[in-house]
Amino acid sequence: MTPATIPPPRLRIAVIGPGGIGSTFAFQLSRAGHDVTVVARGARLECLRRDRAIVTTTGEHAAVHVAEVLDTTVSWDLVLVTVLVSETDVLLPRLADCAADAIMFMFNTFQPLDHLRDAVGAHRTVFGFPAVVASIRDGRLESDILRRGVASTVSEKRWATVFSDAGIPAAAHPDMQSWLRTHAAFIVPVLLAGLSAHRSGHGVDRREATVLAHALREGLGLVRRLGNTVTPGPIGVLGRLPVPMIATLLWMATRIPAFIRTSSVAPPDEPAVLIDEMISLAPQDIPALRAVRPR
């Protein structure tokens, strides 16, 4: 067997939180030949126990093991945590005790990441963000893995390779704190624009687009004031454009059906949660973001 045909090693991977994102990764990693265990609760747990697989809305199956709690004695190659950031603290004691080689936290947050590293060990802590739009509908996975000009982002090249080989394009970034904060500051006004267009059935007007443009610039300014780098570079360029130009881009985006569709599947409370995180860390008031915070 030539080196080019040697199959990748079979990894033992646990996925905590098999909602849309976690289920997408579990599905793809299982299909790629890895030994995948999903840790779930409630109705999702019962559904997975019944099927013993991630099942898609199109009827495809990917076999997985199912557990109610993470087995801390297993030498997992990776534990992938895809629950909401607000749900991680209760998991930290068990994650700290587990025998995993790597623990990846994958979520959207503006919060500092140091407490997660401190809790489970900096040497094995990995961070990521999924370029995936997914949901669970009646126990079945509906998923769209974004592939054009965007990739899931992780802090270690090894896992970018593993995910890419499993059909989830991924890239490594060395400063995930800056990347995540930039993404949060960027995505809040973008999501709010898309959600507004979805609710109203038409694009945002010029006034609303201008208000959201101010929020975008203010959020990226906060990233810089906190000592982080606005990254990737194109977002930094966008954030320095005049407000009317940013407003025009938002106005145009909300007239694209695919943009509205993608925004509509985001958690409806996500913009408010991210804004609250920004407010809690802001060294001075951020009125533009306060003004757009959903009530």
pLDDT over 60 (residue 38):
yes
Express each pLDDT in 196-216 by its tens digit.
999 999 999 999 999 999 999
pLDDT at 223: 97
Q: Which run of H or of E encompasses 4?
A: none
Question: Would the pLDDT of 79 be above 90?
Answer: yes
Mean pLDDT of 85-102: 95
Arithmetic mean of pLDDT over the chain: 94
Tell me the mean pLDDT in the region 71-99. 95
Of 5 and 98, the one with more pLDDT: 98
Element (H, E) at 255: none
Q: Is the pLDDT of residue 185 over 90?
A: yes
Helix (H, G, I), strand (E, B) or coil at 198: helix
Q: Given this model, what pLDDT does residue 8 score?
A: 66
* CA neighbours closer than 13 Å in the CB half-sphere of residue 285: 4
How far does the chain reach from its first CA to its final CA, in angstroms?
A: 61
- Which structure tokens are listed for 58? 């199109």
Please state the rounded mean pLDDT for residues 92-99: 97
pLDDT digits (tens, 9 = 90+) for 105-157: 999 999 999 999 999 999 999 999 999 989 999 999 999 998 877 899 999 99
Q: What is the mean pLDDT of residues 81-106?
A: 95
> Going by DSSP bridges, is the β-strand pair 132-137/61-63 parallel, antiparallel, or unpaired?
unpaired
DSSP of 91-129: GHHHHHHS--S-EEEE----S-SHHHHHHH-GGGEEEEE
Q: Whole-prediction pTM value? A: 0.92
Name the E strands within the chain: 12-16, 35-39, 53-55, 61-63, 65-67, 78-81, 103-106, 125-129, 132-137, 140-145, 152-154, 170-172
pLDDT-based confidence at 7, cuts 50/70/90?
A: low
pLDDT above 70 for 35:
yes
pLDDT band at residue 263 using 50, 70 and 90 as cut-offs? confident
Burial 125-156 (b: 16+ CB within 10 A, else e): bbbbbbbbbbbbeeebbbbebeeeeebbbbbb
pLDDT at 269 > cutoff 60: yes
Q: Span 266-288, mean pLDDT?
A: 92
- Residue 75: is it exposed, middle or buried by C-beta count within 10 angstroms (0-12/13-18/19+)? exposed
Distance between CA atoms of 263 and 267, rounded to whole angstroms? 9
CA 283 to the chain's CA centroid: 26
Mean pLDDT of 45-63: 96
Model confidence at 258: pLDDT above 90: no
- Lookup: tokens for 71: 């087995």
φ and ψ of 179, to 5 deg: -65, -45
Q: Give the length of the chain.
A: 295
Q: In the prediction, which pLDDT does 14 show?
A: 98
The whole-number pLDDT of residue 6 equals 57
Give the residue from 34, 29, 27, 31 showing the smallest Cα distance to 12.
34
Comparing 1-10, 36-45, 85-94, 227-236, which segment has the lowest mean pLDDT?
1-10
Residue 264 — very low, low, confident or very high, per pLDDT cuts 50/70/90? confident
Q: What is the CA radius of gyration of the chain?
A: 20
CB atoms inside a 10 Å sphere around CB 43: 10
220-234: per-residue pLDDT in tens? Answer: 999 999 999 999 999
Q: How confident is the model at residue 260 (pLDDT cuts 50, 70, 90)?
A: confident
